[in-house]
Each structure stands twice: as structure tokens, then as C-alpha cells.
Structure 1
Amino acid sequence: MGFEKAFKLSSYLLLLSGFVALFASEALGSVVTALYILVVVASWKARILNIPNWVQGILFFVFIAFFVFDALNLSDFVSATVHLLVLVSLVKLFTLQAERDYLILYSVSFGFLLFASAYTISVSFLAVLVLYIFSSILTFILFESKKAYEANRSAHFSLKGYAYVALGITVLIILISIPIFVVIPRVSLGFFQLNRPMDVHVSGFSDKVNLGDIGQILVNSEVVMRAKLDTALENISPKLKWRGIALDYYDTRSWSNTRVGFHRIYRDGRLGGIPVSRDRRSNEFLVRQDILLEPFSNVIFGAPQMVLLTGEVVSGNFLFADGNDSIGIYRQGQGALRYVVYSDLITREEQLAHPPEVAAIPEVALQRYLQLPDLDPQIYRLAEEMTEKQDSRLDKALAIEYFLKGNYGYSLDNLSAKAEDPLYDFLMETKAGHCEYFATAQAVLMRTLGIPTRVVNGFRLGEYNEFSNYFIVRQSDAHSWVEGYFPDLGWVEFDSTPSIDFVQPRLSFSRSFNQFLDAMDMFWTEIITFDRVSQIGFFRSVRFNFRDTWTRISDLSMELTEFSDLEWLIRFKAWDVSKVLYLVLGSLIIAIVWAFRRYRRYFRIVYKQWFFKQESSRIAPEYYLEMLDLLNRKGFEKQAAETPHEFVKRIQLEFDPPEPAFITQLYYRNRFGNIPLRTSDLSQVYGWLKELRR
């Protein structure tokens, strides 16, 4: 492949890599994408159009006018800018003549990539980003070499060599960018994400939820959150739930949040730590949950009972709490939300066996948890029949839970949704439904007996990902349950929905592969959401691991000194052994740098021959110049008027070693005889140069 074709190919690759990033982010529709690619392919062999400058000027003003109209009437600013870039690139593809045209095309490709980053945090963007870095490096290397090849079109060209160099620089850039990414100050909000709406809204997690809303998402497998707990899997109960929003007002067709006690949450200064609940401050078993929440709701989810909420989320957003112990957020921008929750994972059995010290709720405040609409008298009678053998309020609540689980069936069909009174239809007619109906029945029946209740919407535990040790929570894991209040216990959980005990399914190949892909997506999302708190945690982890490694080295050195046959180690203290290890590492680095500087010309010869496939006549001066440099240090300088042969004959009168004559002979053969330089020749030259250094 010739230089001109390779240069054009790399330029097209750069443009398309940016456009592919835009397509992968779903910023453009399939029809627009297909048409754009067809035009790009057609422009490959199309004749370059010589459009006058005044015509290009008119097109420029037309595009600007369309951009303004698009931004004000058809789409937003970001989308309008993308449309403008697409139009500019299409024109430039057919008018590529001057260097300025290519630079404009490269700028457009960068714009594609920049705006794509505002539309997606998918792991697919990482692959496209690497491709873009490689293609941009390759293109600009060829761009800088363009004039040289145009001046000497007979010069040998190897695209493979340039590709190797671009690949090496790409790897180097990625390696260098990792520590830079870790240490630079974090910025919570991206410029292009300002004022953008949430991607998806999932029903069932707002201040008002109609009966049946949860059922609409139970058949959807879309991922809504991922959670990693800092405890072993065997310590996690399969009944664990992710608590979201609690609702306290019922009107026969929906539940809503009266928002009594609504207040803003402020930082307490401990890395953004926020006290979420004042109950259970002593003897609790706190478990940390690192949660990555997709942009589907303004609710903060966590395992009950949440005690502390931390993360960059507390400083960059407006957080609030209500009287139902629910946490919400008014987001700035869109995208996944990353935060940390500490919870007391006490089970109901533990709560009943060892009642905690809780602050009593005044009777006036409890009245809203006893509110009931006009109900059919049969519902009251049913509650009495279920609990006629029980005395205490707690036993009555447990009896209702037991009765509903044992006498009603689970169904995803909204059998009672269209009834005039959905709850009555569920209890008396269909006797089957999903979690919303069971939770509503549990809450209402308890309220008829004077027990304060609230309905909670959240998620079940989810699927455990063995690759990265976190739980994948989907829309299909959505769940509703009830919390009932008892003065001596606080809020107690009741879940009357029939369910099968959680058993982690055996991993098939397809399931394992899907989990691997999700783990990769999680890894990339963690990079995207690497905030200030994560940065501080990373440095703390590094410091801890460094101290732990130092301690291990010290312990190992002390153990070694106990062996009698290693008496020479006795004179070393623990800190001496660790210093020796650092000394060895430092010496190795110094040796590598010294070897590269000492034999850089030899490395350059091998590099040019292997990667660029350069002819021997173009490589030969490298080792000859090395010889001249060594002889100059010894006091023998080649005069400008001397030929290589004359120079060797002159120095032989004062300098006896035969190496200069051998190297000069090889130089003549390579340079002027065009005899290929073999690998064995390089080894021989290296040996001769080594002798001259002595």
C-alpha cells in the first residue's frame, strides 16, 4: 500500500472511529447512521470536488442557520452541534485537498468522540476510545510525514512499521494516563451533561404509585442498580431487600407519600458523611454497600436500616429525607449515581429477640399511618377472622402475614387492576396477584386493627455476579412489602408475598458470559464515576497495603534470621532487608536506562529493520556513526574531505585494532553495494563496537 492511500485510509479510520462512538452512544438513529456510512464509502473513490471558496462560505452560513433553528426548535444544543458536525464532515469528505481540510475533518472526529462521551457510560465507549487514540496517533504521524514522502515519492514506505509505532504510543499513553487519572482533582459534573433529563423512569418509585405500577416492570430485565457488600456471601440473608420509598396514604387505587417531616440533609464534614437515622446507635452490625444506581429514580436505595450515607453524592446534589425514613435526591445532570451506604442488617428474628432502644413516635404523628378510605365491611371482618386467636398486636400482624402467604397465590397478571375496588377484588374474588396487592392487603388489614403501617417499594436482593462479587439488581427484582410500628420494637418488616427461597442458579456458559460482560461494564462505570471520595479511599487503600507489605517483609526477615545456616542474615535488621529489595529494584531500573543510552544506536538499527523494514542502505549509517563517535572520543576525528577508506588507512598508522576496518568494509558493502544487512551482521557489529569501547 502506497503512502497516499495509507494516509487517506488512516484519516477515514479516524473520522469513523469518532462517528462509531457517537452511534454506540445512541445519539443518532439507525437511518442517519446508515446514510452517513454510505456517503463515506462513496466518497472513498469519488473525484475531489473543487468547490469555490464563496460557495463554501454560503454553505457555512446555511449550516449555522440550520444549527440555530435545530437548537431552538428541533433538539437541544448538544444534538444540534452533532448534526452540524455531521454536515461539515460530509462536505469535507468531497473537498479534501489542503492540509486545512484534513485538520477540519480531524477536529470533527474529535467532536464526535467528545459528544459521544456525554451520551453514554457504556463499556463499548472504552473500546472505541482505544481505537480512536490509535487511529489519531497513526494519522498524525502520517500527516507529519506527508511532505517528506511527497518530496521523494520513490522512498520505501511501510504502513506496518507506522502501525507498530502508533500501537506502542497508544499503550504508553494509556499506561501514563492511569496514574494521572488517579491523582488529578475530581470534578463532579460534566459540562455536556448539564440540564439533561433522566434516561429512564421506572414506575413504582415516585411519591404516588398506582396499584399495578410495580407489576408493569416485573417482566423487564433491565439493570437498575449494582451493589457490593463488604461482607462474605454466606453472611448475607437471601431475604435482604433494597429499601427505596415508603408510602403512607391509601385511597383504594393508589399509595402516596404525604411528605410530612420533609427536610433537607446537610453534610456533617466527615468526607461527606450524612447521618440517615438516629435509631440503633449502639451494638449494631454495620455493613458497607457500594452502590451504583442507574438514572431511573430520585430515590436513594440501600439495605435497611440505613445508618450512614456517604460519597460525592452528598456534596454535588440536593439530598432530602421525609418522615418515612426515605432518602431522595434532586440530581444535577444525568448518569449513574455512585454512593456508599452503611446499614444495620439485623433480621426480624433478631429484632424481635433483642428489641433495640428506639425513640417513641408521638401518637399524633402516628395517625397518618392509620388513615383508611371507605372500605367494604367484609375487609374489616376478614381482618378479625384472621387474628381472632391472637392477643398482641405483633401476633395479629404475624397472623395476617401467615394467612396471606398460605391462602393466596402469586400472579404477574393484573387481575384486579380494573376492578372498582382492587383490594376487595384481590381479597375476595381473584385471591391472586403480585407483591403490590399482598403489601396493600397486609398494610390495610393491619390498619383496621389499629396498627400503624406504611408500604415500602424497593427491590429484592438480585443476582450475584461471581466475577466481581456484587449483586445485579434488575427491574424484575422490584418488590413491595410493609413496615408496621410497635412502640417497644420500632418499625418491623412484614412480607406476605409468597416466594421461593433464593438459590443462586448454576452458571451456564451463556449466563457466565453475560455476567462477565456485566462485570466489564461495572468496571468501566466505576472508572467513569470515580469521584473524590473514591479517590481518597484509593489512596488510603494504597497506604494500608504499603504498610501491610512492609510488615510482611519485616516479619519474613525476622523469621529468616532464626535459621542457623543463614548466619549472614543475622547482621541485617528488618528494615535492612526491605531496603535491599528497594535497592535491587532501583538498580534494575538504572541498569535498563544505562543499557538503552549506551546501545541506543544498536537498538535503533534493530527497530528500523524490524518495524519499518528499511533497506540496509538506509540503516548502515547508524552503526558507522557510532564507530566515528567512539573513535572521536579516542582522539581520531574524521575530516570532512576524507572518504571512509582514507580515514581508516590514516588511523591504522596510530591505532592498531582491526575493528574500524571491518566496520568500514561492512559499511561500504551495505551503503554502496546494497547488500542486505543480516541479523548475524548486526551481532557482529555489536561485538566490534563493544571492543572499541574498551
Structure 2
Amino acid sequence: MSFKTYFQTFSYATVAVATLALLLAGGLPISIAVLFWLLLAAAWKCEGTKWQLSERVGLVVVLLSIPLFFLDWKYQKLIGEPAGSVGVNALAHLIVFLSAVKLLQVKKDRDWVFLYLISFFEVLLAAGLSFSPIFLGTLTLYLLCGLSTMIAFEIQKSKRAIAATETRLLVPPDSRIFKNPARRSGRRNAEANRLPFVAIFLLGLIFVLALPLFLVAPRVGSVALTRASGGLANFVGFSENVTLGEIGSLKRDNTVVMHIRIEDWQPRREFRWRGVALDEFTGHGWKKSPVARRSYPLTNEKGFFQLGTTEALHRLTTQTVFLEPIESPVLFAATRPVAIEGEFPFVRVDAEGSVQTSRHEFDRIIYKALSDTTEPDIALLRADARPYPAGFERYLQYPESLDSRIDARANAIAVNAHARNRYDVAKAIESELQSDYGYTLEMKASGPDPLADFLFNVKTGHCEYFSTAMAIMLRTRGIAARVVNGFLPGEYNEAAGAFTVRQSDAHSWVEVYFPESHSWITFDPTPAAGRSEPVRTGFTGQLGKYAEALELIWFQYVIGYDKQEQRSLATSLRNHMFDYGRSAAALVSSFRAMVSSSARAFGLIAGGLITALLLVFAAKRVRRFGWPHWLKVWRTETGQESSRVDFYERLMALLEQRGVKREPHQTPLEFATSINIPDAVRITEAYNRVRFGVENLSASELREIEARLSEFDRQNKASL
């Protein structure tokens, strides 16, 4: 691949990947994305041909984009797009249009830079719209293509600058300056082959440097851009007025509502995610009475909102909730929440214990809920005969037009079960409804009194009818009760360590008040068929669970990484550092104790080893070089080389004893040749090899030189 082709390939790939990121984030329809990629392919084919748009035509088309943007924005509003997504959609369309125009025209350096900036803005827009971990993949691919492109872009600019400089040099045409590139023509594409590896290395370096910054950078309270699509549509059953049958419409939809992770969860424990409690029955549905609507807002700069108290901390169940965008301000938690922790502007609690915050149709939210899920002992509940406090009359209310058969039916159930206290009456009615009635999602009960039609005619229905029937029958027996709408636990995902709660898990149950313990106790009269959870099996089921786990990790530790997570990470690191420091101190102390207890033995052993090594070293030197020079010559094993040149100094000293001395202007070899001593010439040549040729002498060569020097020494002594 030539360098020019490499540059164009990665430039086009950068723009294409940016559009892919925007598409996967939901900011671009698939039709517009496909049309853009077709134009991109056409621009690639037209690159460098007469079919490209001229710079003037391209400028005119770009100016036309301004009224087109306004028309697109008006069209988005006309077709009823959500107000929060109109501007985002129009902006995404404008960006893609500008990219297509620039791709189709003749491009100079500034046009390429414009395309790179547009692609970066597309990725930035996708980051604000996406909650999916798929964005990490597209971001990585974009960074890889972008790095390769920017490096190639700078190299191309530098090449043009160098080429322009060389044409102005006063150098003959046959100069080596112009011949060297020709001789290297076989390697002219080597830089293009190496650039992807350079980009991969730089990308890894970016992630390594960016990760600590991501972990410690200050967090803001909200995301930069809202989601293009709104929250879960038709999310009914969690308002102040609920008609019988609304929950049933939710149960036909498998859309995910939330994920919930429980700390120290035990498989045998069963939870329900409480949403809203309703106290007034209208005959066709439930609503909140004026008293129940009373609420008080809570604010806290640190994001911790205390809703109640508990007798002991071990009774608390900690839940981390990842709630999808929904058209409801309700916050879900296990029964009896006592605290909520999250980045909320406020938390509002009504008289029925329902928790709400600001609406979040376009944003996922993450929060922690602490609930006191323990219940009083059954014996205590059975013995509870205390009168209800003032103001509880609303939990005994039912319409005056209520069918009298309902009261008679409730009385018959209590008598047949020999129930003489509130708890036993509630259990008897719960058991009767579970065993004698059928479960179905079909809306069979109807007429002016759907509750009576359900109890005495169709005898089948879904959870709303069962909870309503139980609550009203309890009220006819003088027992305070209310209906709660929320969700069943959902499917437990082992890979994510969390429950996946879908709209099909929407459920309705009953809470009964026991004044002695000041507690609302949960009863669920719906048959088992209405409380069973779907379980995904097989390869596709497991694959879906792993995908959910990855998405949950991405949302918690990337999208939802806030000040609370930072504090949690800092605390965890501090605890780990403390543990490591304590372990290291214990290890040092044990080592010090061991050394002090056997210090003398350790010293003797160490001294003996050192002495033995020195003796072995000295013996080998004496054996190799003899006693006269064993302290001067470094030992060299057979096959090893030496770079010592002290033998030449000894040669000079021996020649000076004969009255022969090298002059300062003479080189070593000139001096050896002038004195006409063959052995001196050979020793000097060996010296030059070591000193100037960066070579090493073998052991045999050193022995030969040592023998010649010894002969010089013997001759000098004989001449004295």
C-alpha cells in the first residue's frame, strides 16, 4: 500500500467510524447512515477525478445547510418528536450532511482538518447519547483510525515541505541527495506499514495515562447530553390514579426497567421492589387520597437522604439500583426503605412511604437504597389487638355501592378458617384467593363492578384483581390494608450478580397494618402462576446474561461513575494499602526476629561463603597467569574474550628498561615498526585491535602475549 492510499484509507475510515458511533448511540436513523456510507464510497471512487465538487460549489452547498437545518428542526417538531431530542436529531443530521459535502469535494489540508473535527464532534455527540458498552468499542476503533490518520497527515505535510525545499537546493542533478531515494525505493512504503503499530502503541499509552485522570477527575451531577429517545413509553400503574387492568398491560412487555444488585444476597430470600402505595378504592381503580398525597421533600448536598430509622444496622438490606429512563418519578426499593443515596436534587416521600424524585425520561440513574426488610415474629402479629391510631380510617374505606356479597364472602372465609385475629384473617383470604381462583392476563372482568365480576363470575384475572379483592375483603372485616404496585424480584443474572427486572415483572400486592409493631406486612394473594419468573437457558440465554453483565459494569463504573464511586474507590484503596502495609510490617518483623535469633550463625555462614569464593577466584588467577601477574590480569574463561590493554603498558615499561622510548608524535604501530622488534609489532597490533577496533582477545592470545612479555623480562634481566 502506498503512503497516499494509506492516508486516504484511514481518513475515510475515521469519518465512517464516527458515523457508526453516532448510529449505535441512537442519534442517527439507519436509513441516513446507509445513505451517508454510500456517498462515502462514491467519494472514495471519485477521489482525484474530475467528478469531485469544486471548492466553490462545496462552499455554496455548505451555506445551504443553514436553512436545511432550520427546516429539519421544524419537521422534527411537526412529526411529534420529544422536545429533548428535536435539537439533537437536527444537529446530527447537519453534521452528517456537512461531512458528505466535504468528502465529495476537492480537498486541501484545511478540508481534511474540517472532516476530522466533524468526526470528533460526532463521537462527542455519541458519547452523550450512548449508555451502551458498545460505545467503548467504537471509541477505541475511532481513536485507532484517528491516530493513524493524524500521524499520516503530519508526515504528508512534512514531505511536501521537504520536497519544496529540495527543489531550491543548488545541487547538481547527479548528486547523491537525489540518488539516495532511488536506491531506497524498495523501502518507500515501509513507513506506511509501520504506522498502524505506532498508532496501537500510542492508543495504549493514551488509555494508560487517561485511566488515572478518569478516576480522580471531579464529577458533575448530570450527564452532558440527554438521550435521543425518551423513556419507557406507556409506563402506567405508578401514578396517583390507577385503573384496574393497567398493570396487566405492562406485564405483556419484556422491556428491561432496571437492574438491582443486593449486597450479601442469599438465594432463599425473596424481595419485591416497592413503587407506589394507594389507599382509596373508587370501584374501578385505586388512587391516593388527599392525605396520602401529602409529602415532604428532602435535600442533601452529599446525596444521602434519610427516610426513616432502624433498630439495628444488621437488619438493613443494601440495594444498588440501575434504573432505565422511565416516564415516572418513582424510585423503587425493597420494602420499608430507610435511606436513599444518589445524585438527586431532592427526594420526596409521601404519607404512604412512596419515594419520588425529579422525572428522568431521558437519563438512566443509579442510586443505593437501604431497606429494613425484617418482619416481626408471627406470634407477635397474631397477638396484635391494639386499636388503630387516629387517621387510619382511610385504610378501612370502600365504596358504599360495594356488592354485599364481597363482605359475606370475606366473613365466610374467616369463619371457615377459624381466624380470630388480623393476621390469620389475612392469611385465610390470601390462601383462598391463591387456591380457588385462576391467573390470566386477559381482561375478563368487566361491567359496572369489575371486582364483583372477578370474584363471583369469571374468577380469573391478574395481580391487580387479586390484590384489590384481598384489600377490600380485609377492609370489610375492619382490617387496615392498602394496595402496593411495584415489581417482582425479576430474573437473577449470575454473571452480573444482579436481578434483571422487566415490565413483565410488574406486580400488585397488599400491605396490612399491625399497630403493635407499627409495621406494614406484605401479603400476596396472586396464584403462583402470576409470580413465576422466566429463566433464560441455553447458549443464547447465557450470552444475553453476559451482555447484560457487561452493560451493567459499563454503566456503574463508567457512565455512572460519580463522587460516591470515587469515595468508595478511595476508601477501598486506602484499606488495601493499610492491609498491605500491615502485612509488610509483619513480614519485616518476623524476618528481623529470625535474623536476630540466629545472627551469629548467619554471620559465620556468610563469612565462610565469601572467603571460599575469594580463594577459588585467587586460585584460578594463579593457575592461569602465574604468581607475578595474578593481581594485574583479569581472568578469562576458555572461549571468553578480554578487553584489557594493560599488557601494552607492560611492553612500554620493558622497552624503557632497554632505553627505548616512544616519542609523543609517534603512533603505537609507527613506534613498534621503527624499533624493528617483531614481537613488539605483534603485541602492538593486538593492542590496536583492542584499543581502537573494539575487539576482545581470547584466552590463547593473552597467554601468547604473556609469554612474549615474560621473554622480554627475562632478556632484560640477563643483560644487566
TM range (shorter): 0.7 to 0.9
> How far is 1:496 from its partner?
0.7
Residue in structure 2 matching 1:101, options 84, 95, 111: 111
> Contact 2:486 / 2:508 at 8 angstroms: preserved in 1?
yes
Mapping of 1:242-257 within 5 angstroms? 242-257=273-288
Q: 1:42 to 1:386 in 2, by over 3 A?
A: same
Which is bigger in relative contact order (C-alpha 8 A, separation at least 6)?
Answer: 1
Q: Does 1:90 align with 2:121?
A: no
User: 2:401 & 2:73 partners in 1: Cα distance?
Assistant: 52
Q: Which amino acid aligns with 1:190?
A: V
Residue in structure 2 matching 1:295, options 325, 342, 346: 325
User: 1:434 & 1:257 partners in 2: Cα distance?
Assistant: 21
Q: Which amino acid aligns with 2:4?
A: E
Q: Does 1:216 align with 2:261?
A: no
Partner of 1:530: 561
Partner of 2:80: none
Q: 1:524 to 1:652 in 2, by over 3 A?
A: farther
User: 2:227 & 2:131 partners in 1: Cα distance?
Assistant: 15
User: 2:388 & 2:19 partners in 1: Cα distance?
Assistant: 59
Deviations along 1:338-362, whole A, 9 cap, x unmatched? 1111111214x646548999x9974
Partner of 1:686: none
Partner of 1:602: none
User: 2:8 & 2:63 partners in 1: Cα distance?
Assistant: 28
> How far is 1:88 from its partner?
0.6
Residue in structure 2 matching 1:517, options 543, 547, 555: 547
> How far is 1:105 from its partner?
1.0
Mapping of 1:274-293 within 5 angstroms? 274-278=305-309, 280-282=310-312, 285-293=315-323
Partner of 1:335: 363
> How far is 1:137 from its partner?
0.8
Mapping of 1:130-209 within 5 angstroms? 130-150=140-160, 155-193=188-226, 197-198=230-231, 200-209=233-242
The residue matched to 2:340 in structure 1 has which SS? strand
Partner of 1:406: 435
> How far is 1:194 from its partner?
9.0
User: 2:128 & 2:316 partners in 1: Cα distance?
Assistant: 36
The residue matched to 2:353 in structure 1 has which SS? coil
User: 2:296 & 2:228 partners in 1: Cα distance?
Assistant: 22
Q: Percent identity?
A: 30
User: 1:432 & 1:211 partners in 2: Cα distance?
Assistant: 14
Q: 1:112 to 1:563 in 2, by over 3 A?
A: same
Partner of 1:415: 444
User: 2:265 & 2:106 partners in 1: Cα distance?
Assistant: 61
> How far is 1:565 from its partner?
11
Aligned CA-pair RMSD: 3.4
Q: 1:197 to 1:476 in 2, by over 3 A?
A: closer
User: 1:404 & 1:458 partners in 2: Cα distance?
Assistant: 20
> How far is 1:540 from its partner?
1.0
User: 2:24 & 2:568 partners in 1: Cα distance?
Assistant: 32
Q: Which amino acid aligns with 1:84?
A: L
> Contact 1:48 / 1:95 at 8 angstroms: preserved in 2?
no
Q: Which amino acid aligns with 1:521?
A: E
Q: 1:264 to 1:171 in 2, by over 3 A?
A: farther
Q: 1:215 to 1:196 in 2, by over 3 A?
A: closer
Mapping of 1:406-485 within 5 angstroms? 406-416=435-445, 418-485=446-513
> Contact 2:471 / 2:483 at 8 angstroms: preserved in 1?
yes
> How far is 1:217 from its partner?
2.3
Q: Which amino acid aligns with 1:3?
A: F
> Contact 1:15 / 1:105 at 8 angstroms: preserved in 2?
yes
> Contact 1:439 / 1:495 at 8 angstroms: preserved in 2?
yes
Deviations along 1:650-676, whole A, 9 cap, x unmatched? 99999945586579xxxxxxxxxxxxx
Q: Which runs of 5+ in 2 are unaligned?
A: 78-85, 164-180, 603-665, 671-683, 696-720
Deviations along 1:346-399, whole A, 9 cap, x unmatched? 14x646548999x99742244255243522222222111111232223322221
Q: 1:441 to 1:361 in 2, by over 3 A?
A: same
> Contact 2:278 / 2:287 at 8 angstroms: preserved in 1?
yes
Deviations along 1:404-440, whole A, 9 cap, x unmatched? 1111122222222x44422122111121122111111
> Contact 1:274 / 1:308 at 8 angstroms: preserved in 2?
yes
User: 1:381 & 1:272 partners in 2: Cα distance?
Assistant: 50
> Contact 1:298 / 1:328 at 8 angstroms: preserved in 2?
yes
User: 2:550 & 2:541 partners in 1: Cα distance?
Assistant: 14
User: 1:382 & 1:134 partners in 2: Cα distance?
Assistant: 72
TM-score, length basis structure 1 = 0.76
> Contact 1:464 / 1:504 at 8 angstroms: preserved in 2?
no
Deviations along 1:129-151, whole A, 9 cap, x unmatched? 11111111111011111124456
The residue matched to 2:238 in structure 1 has which SS? coil
> How far is 1:209 from its partner?
2.1
Deviations along 1:25-73, whole A, 9 cap, x unmatched? 2222222222222111122112365645554443233211121233345
> How far is 1:282 from its partner?
4.6
User: 2:273 & 2:254 partners in 1: Cα distance?
Assistant: 17
Partner of 2:526: 497
Q: Which amino acid aligns with 1:414?
A: M
User: 2:411 & 2:338 partners in 1: Cα distance?
Assistant: 37
Q: Which amino acid aligns with 1:379?
A: I
Mapping of 1:569-608 within 5 angstroms? none
User: 1:322 & 1:391 partners in 2: Cα distance?
Assistant: 33
Q: Does 1:325 align with 2:353?
A: yes
User: 1:442 & 1:231 partners in 2: Cα distance?
Assistant: 33
The residue matched to 1:134 in structure 2 has which SS? helix
> Contact 1:318 / 1:331 at 8 angstroms: preserved in 2?
no
User: 1:511 & 1:310 partners in 2: Cα distance?
Assistant: 33
Partner of 2:424: 395
> How far is 1:480 from its partner?
0.9
> Contact 1:462 / 1:477 at 8 angstroms: preserved in 2?
yes
The residue matched to 1:476 in structure 2 has which SS? helix
Q: 1:131 to 1:446 in 2, by over 3 A?
A: same
TM-score, length basis structure 2 = 0.73
Q: 1:652 to 1:311 in 2, by over 3 A?
A: farther
> How far is 1:11 from its partner?
0.8
User: 1:520 & 1:569 partners in 2: Cα distance?
Assistant: 59
Q: Which runs of 5+ in 1 are unaligned?
A: 572-648, 664-694
Deviations along 1:276-300, whole A, 9 cap, x unmatched? 124x445761121111111123211
Partner of 1:309: 340
The residue matched to 1:363 in structure 2 has which SS? coil
Q: 1:373 to 1:223 in 2, by over 3 A?
A: farther
> Contact 2:397 / 2:475 at 8 angstroms: preserved in 1?
yes
Partner of 1:262: 294
> Contact 1:200 / 1:295 at 8 angstroms: preserved in 2?
no
Q: Which amino acid aligns with 1:163?
A: P
Q: Does 1:384 align with 2:414?
A: no
Q: 1:474 to 1:559 in 2, by over 3 A?
A: farther
Q: 1:492 to 1:147 in 2, by over 3 A?
A: same
User: 1:187 & 1:450 partners in 2: Cα distance?
Assistant: 51
> Contact 1:355 / 1:488 at 8 angstroms: preserved in 2?
no
Mapping of 1:326-365 within 5 angstroms? 326-331=354-359, 334-347=362-375, 350=377, 353=380, 362-365=389-392
> Contact 2:250 / 2:503 at 8 angstroms: preserved in 1?
yes
Q: Does 1:17 align with 2:17?
A: yes
User: 2:393 & 2:400 partners in 1: Cα distance?
Assistant: 16
Residue in structure 2 matching 1:225, options 258, 269, 280: 258
User: 2:561 & 2:387 partners in 1: Cα distance?
Assistant: 40
> Contact 1:370 / 1:453 at 8 angstroms: preserved in 2?
no
Q: 1:508 to 1:561 in 2, by over 3 A?
A: farther
